[in-house]
Amino acid sequence: MQRNAYKGSPERAWNRVQIVALDGTLWDGDFLVDTGNPFAIVLDSARMRQLKQLDAPPLISNFGTLEGGWVQVRIPATRIDQLLLGYGSDTVAAACQRSSADFAGLAGLPLLRLAEYGGDAGAFWLRTAGQSP
């Protein structure tokens, strides 16, 4: 289980995510959790170009053009290790960093649905499905 106290201003839920580059190196980032985000993960454009395993088509959104790419996402505490469609957007990354400079981007509903998630007054948690708290 990964349990993280809220952080930022305003305080926001977040998760630590590892992304595996093509050469096998790991990059760790703190991602603001957004259950209303229809994309598994959104990070800044340069990091997306650096970490993506495969290209994917771009999308036009209310944040402008999102650069598509397939990224290998790991959350060891939940045994998540999966290739997911993600996007790169400097606009989205900057919006997240206005809440906390630590945030690398957004973790959306498709990523969260790979596990169980929730929160209470003090923290947000993500755990392997069926795992007790």
Do residues 54 and 126 lie in contact, with contact meaning Cβ atoms separated by under 8 Å?
Answer: no
CATH label of the domain that carries residue 82: 2.40.70.10
Do residues 61 and 36 lie in contact, with contact meaning Cβ atoms separated by under 8 Å?
Answer: no
Question: Above 70 in pLDDT, residue 22?
Answer: yes
105 inside domain? yes
Give CA–CA dist 55/49, Å, rounded.
9
132 inside domain? no
119 inside domain? yes
Give CA–CA dist 117/127, Å, rounded.
6
The model's pLDDT over 51-75, given as tens digits with 9 standing for 90+, comes to: 999 999 999 999 999 999 999 999 9
40 inside domain? yes
Do residues 127 and 1 lie in contact, with contact meaning Cβ atoms separated by under 8 Å?
Answer: yes
75 inside domain? yes
Domain of 59, in residue numbers? 2-127
Q: Residue 25 carries which side chain, given as an amino acid letter?
A: T
The number of distinct structural domains making up the chain is: 1
